[in-house]
Amino acid sequence: MIKVLAYPLTIIYYVFFGLTLAVFHPIQWICFNALGYRAHKKSVDLLNWFLTRCLHILVVRYTFKVPRDIPENVPVIIVANHQSMNDIPPIIWFMRRFHVKFISKKELGKGLPSVSYNLRHGGSVLIDRKNPIQAVNAIKKMANYIETHNRAVVIFPEGSRSRDGKPKPFKIKGLTTLLENSPNAIVIPITINNSWKLLRYGKFPMGLGAHIKFTVHNPIQVSKYKTDELIDSVERQITNAVIK
């Protein structure tokens, strides 16, 4: 019965999702080209609020609590497990005070209204996973960017999403490059639970009734730890909080 109900609700969701992307694409363009960074960021924040709320059509709930003791005006590296593309809008919205950027595969840099535009112009970097030299240089560029402007960057070290919620081992090259080139940064580990349930049947229909939980762990100062020890600690912290 639930899966039968998922068909019409998924259609309605995709209609509102597509309209949101289509409407915000020209809004982003105007903000970026005529009004500058602050206006463009506001438009991206609002875009991701709408994308997050669109999922309520699928009876999705969120729990996302950000600790109040996280310092501001410092470089931030957000490290999270990855369960679906729906992990991203809530992170941008609920962590918006940190000016969130992404390290993303280059394929997402074109073809997606609003999303591709923001990845190309909003401060994120696109990497070619088949070209390690380009990828490392792009990540170094991002590290310099967050150090210079006190922004936040999100990295999903698993490399690809988990289809059943079980965490994959970290691929540490990109994260190591970030940490070694952002000595003044703090790391904020985030554990994501239940996002994968939206795709339990595939992309159509989507799953209903997921309670997506984001556990934002306490910040860790990069300069206080050796890189390999820090990565091991962050990976354990994230994966131990994944619902088995």
Alpha helices (H) along 55-201: 88-94, 115-121, 132-149, 172-180
Whether the per-residue pLDDT at 36 is higher than 90: the answer is yes
pLDDT top residue among 163 and 215? 215
Q: Does the pLDDT value for residue 243 go beyond 90?
A: no
Query: Is there a domain that residue 102 lies in?
Result: yes
pLDDT over 70 for what percent of the chain? Answer: 100
Is residue 244 scored above 80 in pLDDT? no
Specify the number of domains making up the chain: 1
Q: What is the domain extent for residue 70?
A: 63-201+213-240
Tell whether the model's pLDDT for residue 7 goes beyond 80.
yes
Q: Kindly report, residue by residue over 45-74, the tens digit of the pLDDT.
A: 999 999 999 999 999 999 998 887 888 899
In a domain, 49, yes or no: no
Per-residue pLDDT reduced to its tens digit, 83-96: 999 999 999 999 99
**DSSP strand pairing (100-105 vs 152-155):** parallel
Q: What is the pLDDT of residue 163?
A: 84
| pLDDT for residue 130 | 87
Q: What is the mean pLDDT of the chain?
A: 94
123 lies in some domain: yes
Which of 72-76, 135-139, 148-152, 160-164 is the least confident region?
Answer: 160-164
Query: What is the reported pLDDT for 169?
Result: 93
Q: Give the mean pLDDT of 15-42.
A: 97
Q: How confident is the model at residue 216 (pLDDT cuts 50, 70, 90)?
A: very high
Residues in the chain: 244
Residue 169, C-beta contacts closer than 8 angstroms, at least 6 positions apart = 158
Say what the pLDDT of residue 187 is.
98
Band of residue 217 on the pLDDT scale cut at 50, 70, 90: very high
Asked, for residue 122, whether it belongs to a domain, the answer is yes
| Residue 39 domain-assigned (yes or no) | no
Residue 73 lies in a domain: yes
Confidence of residue 144 (pLDDT cuts 50, 70, 90): very high
> Is there a domain that residue 46 lies in?
no
Looking at residue 198, what is its pLDDT?
95
Q: Flag whether 188 is in a domain.
A: yes
Answer yes or no: is pLDDT of 232 > 80. Answer: yes
In terms of pLDDT, which residue wins out, 144 or 66?
144
